[in-house]
Structure formats: structure tokens, C-alpha cells
A and B are shown apart, each in its own frame.
Chain A
Amino acid sequence: MKDKKLRVYIYYMLLTGLSFVVFFSVMFLLLGGVWGKLALGTLLYLPPARLVTEIFGFSKTKNYGFALISVILLVMLFLGYTYESIGH
């Protein structure tokens, strides 16, 4: 199995993130209010967090080409958000 360490990092990152999502969602169902935004906001930050984990993991194993692709994808995600948020 290739990139074994990276897989472990991604697994624990997603496990932590999704546990928070479920916790905030249940709190929203019980209490309402700001918990809903917290749950969905956490969910939205999981894919960029996964990209950051990939950059870290691939750099550690010296797979700089794949790390560069993750950097490009992270920049594309950020630029897309900026482009829309300035009113296009």
C-alpha cells in the first residue's frame, strides 16, 4: 500500500473533523442557534484541510510533484472563492 503514512494522517484528520460535525449537528438539533453554522462550517473546511494534510504528507515522503498538485488545488479553491466574493 503506497503513501501509508499519508493515509493515516488523512484518516485521523477526517475522523476528528467528522466527529465535530456530528457533535455540532446534534447540539443544533437540541439547542438550535449558532451550532448549525458551526457544524456546516466545520464540514466545509474538511476538504481544504485534507489538501493541507496531503501537502504535508507528500512533502515528508519527498513526492514533491503530488504535493505541488495539492498546492495548485488549494490555490484554485481559494481563488474561486475570492473571485466570487468580490462580486462576479
Chain B
Amino acid sequence: MNIWLLIPAGFIIGLVGSMFGIGGGIFIVPILHFGFKVPLHQAIACSLLTIVASSMMATMSKVRYGITNIRLSKALEIPSISGAIIGSALVGAMPIGILKVMFAAVAVAMAVDMFKNPVKVLAGGKERVYTAGGKDDAFADSFRDKATGCTVRYQVKNLKWAVPVSLAAGFLSSTLGIGGGVINVPLITNVCKAPIKVASATSSYKLGLTACAGSIIYFGKGYIVPDVTIMSVLGILAGAYVGMNLLLRTKAFYIELLFGMLMVGIAVKMVLSL
């Protein structure tokens, strides 16, 4: 296949990844391996670098507009990386089939929770309102939502549950080989009760570091194929730029609806891969 096709493919992956706060490794590895006949290890190495690119570009503007909650990201990074280290150490000893079924069940439950607000809005109700309420803690923050023109103030809740869940998320992400974003976004939305845009931005912020840890090693071992990676990176950078602008201008319930559908799709894929 013509290598220049990686630019438009990367553009679409960057756009989706930046909007939903996911890395896009789930899409780029099969495209490189099956479409461009890149060996699997090199495809994974390339995908990790493209995740770094997508995360850095998405972070740039989301940080500027104040959507990213840097403090929340800091609080969840160490548990999720620790979980990933534990997971990679135990990967051979775990009953992967059972884990996949458990993940699929949790993903469907989280998707149902994510559908609640869009269904209410589509049925004619009012969109969920976030209020800071009570005393502001270290994680409470606000941002200006370009889609509605309002300032959204929110409080981060259940942090005592979010930390162990983040550890479990890191564990699942390394044992099941799924990206952190698919777990991070529902975790921040459903457990921490933060708005979906904050969840997507904070997840993008977290992803870059995790992917960088893996890609430094692949880079050192010489697994990176420069031409394929650079084509993908250029496409992804452009896509991520458009994606984050779309995220800023799209109403939250549309993002919740689409992300819920993505979760259901991944749950089905997990069950089918048994």
C-alpha cells in the first residue's frame, strides 16, 4: 500500500483520539500490521510514538483553554502506572478470558451510565449541570465551555475510590493490551463525576507519559521505522489539532453518546476475541 496513505489514516485516528481522550493504538496497530505489512513489534513501537504525538498535540490546546485538570491527572498517574507494572509482571499467570469478560461487563455498565445524560437530553430534558457546591478542594476547577458559552465549575468526587480503580485500570490496560484512554475517560466521568470534556482532556494528558515510557525502550532498541512513523505522526498531529477544536465546540451530550457507543464496540470486540 502507498505509504502516503498513512497521512489521511493518521488524520482520522488523531481526530477521534483527541476528541475522546484515547490514544488510538487500537486502530493504528492493525492498520500498520495488516495494511502496510509492518512487523508487529515495529507496528507497536510506531503506535506508541503516535500516541505520544496525539497526546502532546491534544494537551497543548486543552491545557491552554483550562479543560485539563492537571492535579487530577497527577493524582491518578502513579496508581495507574503501578497497576500497569504489576499487570505486565503477572500477564502469563492471569486467566485472560475471565478478565476480558469482566472488562466487557464493566465497559457495558459504564456505557449505560454514559448514555443516561444524552438520552435525557434527546428526550427533551435539560443537560446535566455541574456545580462546584460546598468548599472548593484542591481538585475543584472550572473552564469555559465554547459549545454553550457558559463557565462550567465542577468538583472532583470520590478520589478515595478513583485511586484504587486507577490502579485496577492500569492493571487491566497492561494485561488486556488496551489503551489507558478507554478506561480513564469513564473512570473520571463516572467515579470522579467530572464533565466528559475534562475527562477526555485529562486522559489525553495522562496518556503521553505512559506511551513515552514504552516508546523510549523501543526507540533505544531500534524498532522504530522512521518513514512509516513520521507519516503517521504528521497525519495524527493534524487530526489531533482538528479533534481538540471539535471537542471544544461540540456539546457534551454528543461526546457522551459517541463515547458510550465506542465503549459498547470495545466490549463486543473483547467478547468476540475470546
Q: Which residues of A contact B (CB under 8 A)?
A: 1-4, 6-8, 10-11, 14-15, 17-18, 21-22, 25, 28-29, 36-37, 39-41, 43-44, 46-48, 50-51, 54, 66, 69-70, 72-73, 76-77, 80-81, 84-85
Contact = CB atoms under 8 A, between A and B. Distances in A.
Given A2-B70, A81-B217, 16 more contacts: A6-B70, A10-B59, A11-B60, A14-B59, A18-B60, A21-B233, A22-B237, A25-B233, A36-B227, A44-B216, A46-B52, A47-B208, A54-B74, A69-B78, A76-B78, A80-B213
Most chain A CB inside 10 Å of its own CB: which residue of B66, B141, B209, B211: B209
Given A43-B56, A66-B74, A22 B220 contact: no
A40 B70 contact: no
B230 A40 contact: yes
A18 B230 contact: no
Interface string B68-102: 10110011011001000000000000000000000
Contacts of B219: 40-41, 44
Interface in B48-65: 49, 52-53, 55-57, 59-61, 63-64
Interface in B126-148: 141-143
A7 B208 contact: no
Contacts of A76: 78, 81, 213
B165 interface: no
A2 B56 contact: no
A22 B74 CA distance: 28
A29 B230 contact: yes
A41 B219 CA distance: 8
Main secondary structure of the interface of A (DSSP, over half): helix
Contacts of B224: 40
A87 to B, nearest CB: 11
Contact of A10 (B53, B63, B213): B63
B212 A47 contact: yes
Given A2-B71, A7-B63, A22 B216 contact: no
B215 interface: yes
A2 B136 CA distance: 11
A8 B65 CA distance: 10
Contacts of B70: 2-3, 6-7, 10, 54, 66
Contact of B230 (A4, A25, A54): A25
Contacts of B229: 36, 40
Nearest to B53: A43
A40 B53 CA distance: 9
Contact of A84 (B61, B63, B143, B220): B220
A37 B226 contact: yes
A67 B219 CA distance: 28
A60 to B, nearest CB: 14
A22 B81 contact: no
B234 interface: yes
A77 to B, nearest CB: 6
